[in-house]
Amino acid sequence: MNEVPDESYFYKKLLELSDTQIMSMASIIGREEGYPRRLMTEVIIPELCQILGFGIELSYKEIMIGVIEYLAKALEIERLKVYSYQELLDQVLKKTKEARVDRYSFEDVPVIFRKSSLLHKTFKVELMMEWLDIIATL
């Protein structure tokens, strides 16, 4: 991947998320109480790292690139092509929208089960697509 923005770009994107967007992300994993910014840094980002097997010492840039690359692989986007960051993100978002019909809906799952890390790991592709959709609406 080339033309990847620097760390400050990704940090700024996370700061630009509205409280509503953060609470939507938190709701998907059954965490509906708390201050949005704290939920992002203390719950959502660590959960994201755990689901994908990332160390929590990674930068926001490394985490977001990892999510996009994970989804690109899961959505069977051509691997042997060199993409710019924006091209790969656009491809992932396009495939995510196309896959929306077959998506698992977290809204149908009772909150108690949405908190389960087993559910997060079982449906991690769907979870990552939901979260990326929310983040990409900036």
Q: Which domain holds residue 46?
A: 7-136
Q: Looking at residue 44, what DSSP letter applies? A: I
Domain for residue 96, yes or no?
A: yes
Count how many domains the chain has: 1
Domain for residue 121, yes or no?
A: yes
d(CA 43, CA 46): 6
Choice between 57 and 97, residue whose per-residue pLDDT is larger:
57
pLDDT digits (tens, 9 = 90+) for 116-138: 666 666 677 777 777 777 777 64
Q: Give the burial string for 82-101 (b: 16+ CB within 10 Å, else e).
A: ebebeebbebbbebbeeeee
Domain for residue 90, yes or no?
A: yes
Note whether 119 and 113 are within 8 A (CB).
yes
Domain for residue 26, yes or no?
A: yes
pLDDT digits (tens, 9 = 90+) for 26-38: 888 888 888 999 9
pLDDT digits (tens, 9 = 90+) for 99-115: 765 555 666 666 666 66
- Please measure the distance between the N-terminal and C-terminal CA atoms of the chain and give it in whole angstroms: 22
pLDDT digits (tens, 9 = 90+) for 56-71: 789 999 998 998 898 8
Inter-residue long-range contacts of 61-66, CB under 8 Å, 24+ positions, other chains counted: 61/4, 61/5, 61/6, 61/7, 61/9, 61/10, 63/10, 64/10, 64/13, 65/1, 65/4
Give pLDDT, residue 109.
Answer: 65
Domain for residue 1, yes or no?
A: no
Q: How is residue 133 written in tokens? A: 């959709």
Domain for residue 2, yes or no?
A: no
Give pLDDT, residue 101.
Answer: 53
Q: Give the burial string for 8-38 (b: 16+ CB within 10 Å, else e).
A: eebeebbeebeeebbbbbbebbbbeeeebee
Domain for residue 43, yes or no?
A: yes
